[in-house]
Structure 1
Amino acid sequence: MRTANRIRTTLGLALAGVTVALLTGACSMQDAVCGGGEYPVLHVGSAGSACVSDDEEPPKGYARYPEGKVPERVDDKWYTYWETRTLDEDGRTIEIPAES
């Protein structure tokens, strides 16, 4: 009987550990603004963003976020900040124009 209890306890702890690992891994991947090997870029003059491969420049109409103001996770400080702002053609931060 003692052996059966040890086996159940060991299995229970193993399952709990696997569950925690899976949940933790899924949350951190889900919250990232871009995947591994990518960086986020802003759509110039309007709302919108995209992810670009680390070895590529931003496509036409997009720009890199200003240094130190790059969102890394969904709903982090900079992600929220850029929900209402963008860059103009000269690289200045502006409020996102209201849609007509």
Structure 2
Amino acid sequence: MSIQLAIVASVILMGIISYVTYLFSKRSSHKLVKFIPAITAITGIIFFYIKLQFISQGYDVIYDMIAIILLSVVLGFSLIGALIIELIQWKKPRHH
């Protein structure tokens, strides 16, 4: 599988997961919305890891490792962002 096709497949898969997570959080819990980037990054990491283990050959392994590393950085930043948002909302007084 070429890297271009893998990136397109990953973006489509991550978009579907993001949309489903958004719909689920819209119906039940608004707290889930801030974790959509993290869930999407985890989906991409899993996709590239499975591709790395079963499909990749030659230099594709290097591309998959780079994608996993980049998505891991995105995952870290998105979790830190979600934590900051949670702390700000927790400290903010609520007026009902």
TM-score w.r.t. length of structure 1: 0.33
Q: Which has the larger radius of gyration?
A: 1
Report the structure, 1 or 2, having the larger strand content. 1
Greater relative CO, 1 or 2 (CA 8 Å, sep 6+): 2
Report the structure, 1 or 2, having the larger helix content. 2
TM-score w.r.t. length of structure 2: 0.34
